[in-house]
Amino acid sequence: MVFEKIFFYFFSGLGFFKNGWKGSHDFIPITFLYTTTMYDCMIKVAINGYGTIGKRVADAVAAQKDMKVVGVSKTRPNAEAFVAKQRGYPLYIADLSKKAAFEKAGLSVVGSVEDMCKAADVIVDATPSDVGATNKQLYERLGKKALWQGGEEHEIAGFSFNSSCNYKDAIGRQFVRVVSCNTTGLCRIINEIDKEYGVSHVHAIMIRRGSDPGEIKKGPIDAVVLDPVTVPSHHGPDVLTVLPHISITTMAMIVPTTMMHMHAIQITTKKTVSRDRVIDLIKNHPRLGLVKKTLGIKSTAELKEFAMDLGRQRSDLWENCIFEESIYANKNELCFFQAIHQEADVVVENIDAIRAMVGLEKDASRSIMTTNGALGLNLIQNNH
């Protein structure tokens, strides 16, 4: 990679000094070397597990100028496999004995998951919870960088990631875990409030979606389920894997909806908190969205409809959606509601994690801006 970079800059410079801006007879070969080398400089990313998260990460990788998708993996020839084909992603499969079934369905298979991993600089493991852990041996044996999702335990990578909180600590790492959707949403806002006021304690209640829209076999259909019935839920301890100094208690339940999670958050701050300043902090953060009163939205369903109408890909909301009217500040107490799109907020974090692990971008803000820019993320508050 370093050699390729030197090569890239050498030929860029040579092209300029030899030809100036206008070019000359050898402009084409130099441009060719420039472009092919630039292509080689791109981070090669494989997505192991092309499902809800994997397919979004693949599209987000493909949108970046410094990354490319070298393959995605499937276990069976379902609708998502056809989407991968339509997107032009090389398709690999977990079990080669199923190759004939894929090919019979009209899906060409390039090779096995191991073949795919060999072709990659970084593997994004987006297989279902607990399956990811079984892949670690493979990544270790191949000496590859890999990142897992929040369904795996912190110990799998020994490092849990959030772009806004600990990007620098991920630089050069072989293994990283991107925390779950709820933890990502919590970390972003808690860290911001902590930097400004200091956080004494956080109390957060998560009203979670029962299943993702495509999951037809999950519920509940007609119940509010305490999940878990015990306190704290796993979300609080999970926040500590990123922000170990924060005192936090979380409670969680699941409800019959597929759209988004809703968080009711109460933060006790060390210094007196100002509502106006909190709104400014939210407006100035690249991954915090503000649902202003003018929008007239007070539900997850309306938020998703708005994202769809805005033309967001898959109606994804990559940012936290904090309801401006719910923001209540009194002395050392801050309360608000925020909606979190479970399928989307971790996707942008995966992209920054890749960049940090490879070490090509040392600055968190620059990576976040690059990721957001490539996806055309225009924060929700800028649309009303």
What does the binding site for ligand NAD look like in residue numbers (CB under 6 A)? 48-54, 73-75, 80, 94, 113, 126-129, 131-132, 149-152, 180-181, 212, 342-343, 346
Q: State which residue, 66 or 125, has the beta carbon closest to ligand NAD.
A: 125
Report the nearest approach of ligand NAD to the CB of residue 163 (Å). Answer: 15
> Does the bond joining 232 to the residue before it have cis omega, within 30 degrees of 0?
yes
Check if 187 is active-site. no
Quick one: CA torsion of 95, 101, 106, 108, rounded to 10 degrees?
30
Instruction: State whether residue 130 is helix, strand or coil.
Output: coil
Q: Please give the full DSSP string across 46-64, using - where no structure is assigned.
A: EEE--SHHHHHHHHHHHH-
Which lies closer to ligand NAD via its Cβ, residue 42 or residue 57? 57
Residue nearest to ligand NAD (CB): 51
Calculate the dihedral angle through the C-alpha atoms of 184, 186, 192, 194, rounding to the nearest 10 degrees: -130
71, 120 Cβ separation under 8 angstroms: yes
We find the least distance from the C-beta atom of residue 319 to ligand NAD, in angstroms, to be: 15
Q: How far is the CB of 350 from ligand NAD (least distance, A)?
A: 10
* Least Å from the CB of residue 231 to ligand NAD: 22
Nearest CB to ligand NAD, comparing residues 51 and 210? 51
Closest CB to ligand NAD among 342 and 370? 342
DSSP-assigned states of every residue in 67-122: EEEEEEEESS--HHHHHHHHHTPPEEES-GGGHHHHHHTT----EEHHHHHHT-SE
Catalytic residue among 117, 165, 181, 187: 181
Q: How far is the CB of 259 from ligand NAD (least distance, A)?
A: 11
Among residues 68 and 98, whose Cβ is nearest to ligand NAD?
98
Cα separations (Å) of 75 from 13, 72, 98, 232, 283? 46, 11, 8, 35, 42
The catalytic residues are 181
